[in-house]
Amino acid sequence: GSCSICGYQEYVFSLSEDGESYTITGLGEDFEGTELVIPAEYNGKPVTSIGRYAFEGCTSLTSVVIPDSVTTIGNRAFAGCPLLEIKLPSNLTNIGSEAFDSCQLLTTIVIPDRVTTIGDRAFYSCDSLTGIKYRGTEAQWNAISKGNRWNDNTGNYTITYNCKGD
């Protein structure tokens, strides 16, 4: 087929409607390995979101690094990925519905204090998730809009507030 965005073939990007930023929408043909390091910019413009279904079912992924330029993780972006380790960016505000659904090897997640929304079933079936480290206060955590059954491990994890490290 034709290549609408050529050059960097490890990932697939989509230019935003305003032409000011990019969304990463998936893996390109040249992607190899188990570690995902999303670039902070593409073609001189910031990568600000991870699109819906971008990495769904990527069972080979064991590590994901997301740059601080990303503010939104779309619905089911990492659903079905085992994901042993993921570092969420400090500027993240929105975690989409089912974003990490069935990431069964995910044990700990550090959630930035700028997050205002955690979608329905965002961490559903993350059976190994035992620790949530939140960078803000307990009051800030309680103010986050959390979707229906955002995590079905109720009681099986601990939340640490005011977490500053990894």
pLDDT tens column, 104-124 = 889 999 999 999 999 999 999
What's the pLDDT at 1? 36
What's the pLDDT at 87? 87
Q: What one-letter code names the amino acid at 20?
A: E
The whole-angstrom separation of Cα 92 and Cα 71 is 4
Helix-strand-coil percent breakdown of the chain, rounded to 5?
A: 5, 30, 70
3-state secondary structure (DSSP) of residue 138? helix
C-beta separation of 74 from 101 below 8 A:
no
What's the pLDDT at 6? 46
What's the pLDDT at 73? 98
What's the pLDDT at 84? 76
Q: Is the pLDDT of residue 60 over 90?
A: no
C-beta separation of 75 from 98 below 8 A:
yes
The model scores a pTM over 0.85: yes
Burial label for 20, CB within 10 Å (0-12, 13-18, 19+), is exposed
| Nearest residue to 55 (alpha-carbon basis) of 30, 81, 35 | 81
Q: Is the pLDDT of residue 134 over 80?
A: yes
Q: What is the mean pLDDT of the chain?
A: 89
pLDDT in tens, 13-37: 999 999 999 999 998 877 778 888 9
| Nearest residue to 51 (alpha-carbon basis) of 99, 104, 103 | 99
What's the pLDDT at 2? 39
How many other β-carbons are positioned within 10 Å of the β-carbon of residue 124? 22
C-beta separation of 42 from 20 below 8 A:
no
Of residues 122 and 151, more confidently modeled: 122
Q: Is the pLDDT of residue 8 over 60?
A: no
139 pLDDT band (50/70/90 cuts)?
Answer: very high
